[in-house]
C-alpha cells in the first residue's frame, strides 16, 4: 500500500514539474523536486528530464551540472540519465546545437561518456554534418575514451559518405576484433561504398556476414543471395529479372548491392538500370574481370616456378 502511495505521489510531482517547466518556471520546478527529495521520493527520469532540459534551454549549464552531481550523490545512475537527456535534445532540431555545449561542460567536469558521444555523432551524421561527427569520433579518443561498436558503426557511415572507404573498412575490422557486430546501417553503408569502387567480392562477403550475424537482416541482402543462387543455376536472364520484379513488388530497394549481384544480367532491356548506372557497372565489371584475370596469371606463374626466369628477362611486375 505504501509503495502504491509513493508512485501516486511521484506522478503528482511529475505532472506539476512538467507544468512549471512548460510555463518557463524552471526554478519552481526545481524547488518542487527538492521537496520531493526531502519526502524521500526516489527520482525517476520522467521527473528529472523536464528540469534538466529546462536548464539547458535557459543556458543555465552550471545549474544543470549541479543537478547532475546532486543526483549522483543520491546513487542515481547518472550515466544512463545523461545519455537519455542527450537523446531528448538531439531528437529536437531546435535543441541539437545546445547538446554540443552541454557535452563541453560535462566532459570538462568528468561526466563525459562514450554513449553520449555516440548520440551526438549519430545526430550530426543524420543532419549531414559528417565532418563534425568524425571530429567528435577523434575527440572521443583524445579524451581517453575507447570507441565501442556503435561508435565505429557510425564512423563507417560517415567515412563512406566522405568517400573514404578504406577508413570505413578499418572501422569494420576494429568491430570484428572486439568480437562485436556492426549496426545494420553500417553494413548497408559499407556495402554501398565497396560496390561503388568495384569491390564486388567484398560486398558479397559482407552480405553473408550480416545475414549470419543479424537476426533480421536487410531484405536487399537476402535477395542478393537469391540472385546469386539463380545466377549459378541458370544462364537465363529472365530468371534474374523475375527476382528483381519481385523485389520491386515487395518494395525492396534495388541499389548497389543488388547491382553487384547481377552485373552480368541483361537488365538494360528492362530499364532496371539507368544508362548512367549501366555504364558505371559495366566499367566495374571490366575492372573486376581484369583483376581476377591478373590474379590467375600470377598464380599460374608462381605454380610453374617461372618468377625467376621472368625477372631475368627484365620483368618488373612480379
Domain boundaries, the chain: 198-318
pLDDT at 139: 94
| Nearby residues of 296 by Cβ (< 8 Å), 6 or more positions away | none
Q: Give alpha helix (H) positions in the chain.
A: 2-22, 26-38, 45-57, 61-73, 78-91, 96-108, 114-127, 130-142, 149-162, 165-177, 184-196, 200-213, 219-233, 237-250, 256-261, 275-303, 307-312
Burial class (CB within 10 angstroms; exposed 0-12, middle 13-18, buried 19+) of 214: middle
**pLDDT tens, 256-265?**
777 776 653 4
222 has a pLDDT exceeding 70? yes
Confidence band of 280 (pLDDT split at 50, 70, 90): low
How far apart CA 47 and CA 134 sit, in angstroms, is 34
Residue by residue, DSSP assigns 34-58 as HHHHHTT----HHHHHHHHHHHHHT
**pLDDT tens, 60-105?**
999 999 999 988 887 888 889 999 999 999 998 888 889 999 999 9
Average pLDDT over residues 42-65: 88
How far apart CA 84 and CA 115 sit, in angstroms, is 10
What are the cell numbers at 120?
A: 551526438
* 243 neighbors 226 (Cβ within 8 angstroms): yes
Kindly tell me the sign of the dihedral angle through the C-alpha atoms of 85, 69, 102, 83.
Answer: negative
Long-range contacts (CB closer than 8 Å, 24 or more residues apart) made by 272-275: 272/241, 272/244
Confidence band of 117 (pLDDT split at 50, 70, 90): very high
Average pLDDT over residues 193-220: 87
Instruction: Name the nearest CA neighbour of 33 among 70, 3, 1.
Output: 70
Burial class (CB within 10 angstroms; exposed 0-12, middle 13-18, buried 19+) of 211: middle
pLDDT at 283: 60
CA 210 to chain centre: 14
Kindly tell me the sign of the dihedral angle through the C-alpha atoms of 90, 94, 95, 101.
Answer: positive
% pLDDT > 90, the chain: 38
Confidence band of 5 (pLDDT split at 50, 70, 90): very low
Of 273 and 194, more confident:
194
How far apart CA 184 and CA 149 sit, in angstroms, is 12
288 has a pLDDT exceeding 70? no
Q: What is the CB neighbour count within 10 angstroms for residue 238?
A: 10
The CA angle 56-62-67, to the nearest 5 degrees, is 80
How far apart CA 264 and CA 284 sit, in angstroms, is 11
Amino acid at each position: 500500500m505504501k509503495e502504491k502511495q509513493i508512485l501516486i505521489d511521484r506522478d503528482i510531482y511529475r505532472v506539476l514539474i512538467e507544468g512549471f517547466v512548460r510555463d518557463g518556471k524552471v526554478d519552481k520546478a526545481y524547488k518542487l523536486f527538492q521537496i520531493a527529495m526531502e519526502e524521500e521520493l526516489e527520482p525517476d527520469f520522467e521527473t528529472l528530464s523536464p528540469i534538466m532540459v529546462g536548464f539547458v534551454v535557459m543556458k543555465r549549464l552550471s545549474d544543470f551540472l549541479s543537478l547532475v552531481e546532486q543526483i549522483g550523490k543520491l546513487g542515481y545512475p547518472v550515466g544512463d540519465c545523461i545519455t537519455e537527456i542527450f537523446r531528448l535534445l538531439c531528437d529536437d532540431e531546435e535543441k541539437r546545437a545546445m547538446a554540443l555545449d552541454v557535452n563541453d561542460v560535462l566532459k570538462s567536469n568528468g561526466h563525459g561518456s562514450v554513449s553520449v558521444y555516440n548520440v551526438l555523432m549519430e545526430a550530426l551524421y543524420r543532419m549531414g554534418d559528417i565532418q563534425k561527427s568524425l571530429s567528435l569520433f577523434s575527440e572521443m579518443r583524445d579524451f581517453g575514451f575507447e570507441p565501442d561498436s556503435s561508435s565505429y558503426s557510425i564512423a563507417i557511415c560517415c567515412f563512406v559518405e566522405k568517400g573514404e572507404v578504406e577508413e570505413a573498412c578499418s572501422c569494420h575490422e576494429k568491430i570484428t576484433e572486439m568480437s562485436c557486430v556492426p549496426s545494420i546501417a553500417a553494413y548497408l553503408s559499407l556495402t554501398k561504398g565497396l560496390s561503388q569502387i568495384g569491390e564486388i567480392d567484398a560486398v558479397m562477403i559482407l552480405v553473408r556476414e550480416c545475414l549470419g550475424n543479424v537476426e533480421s537482416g536487410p531484405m536487399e541482402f537476402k535477395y542478393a543471395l537469391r540472385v546469386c543462387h539463380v545466377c549459378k543455376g541458370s544462364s537465363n536472364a529472365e530468371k534474374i529479372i523475375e527476382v528483381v520484379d519481385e523485389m520491386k513488388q515487395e518494395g525492396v530497394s534495388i541499389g548497389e548491392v543488388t547491382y553487384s549481384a547481377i552485373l552480368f544480367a541483361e537488365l538494360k532491356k528492362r530499364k532496371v538500370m539507368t544508362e548512367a548506372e549501366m555504364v558505371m557497372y559495366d566499367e566495374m565489371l571490366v575492372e573486376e574481370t581484369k583483376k581476377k584475370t591478373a590474379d590467375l596469371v600470377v598464380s599460374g606463374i608462381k605454380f610453374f616456378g617461372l618468377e625467376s626466369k621472368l625477372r631475368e628477362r627484365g620483368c618488373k611486375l612480379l
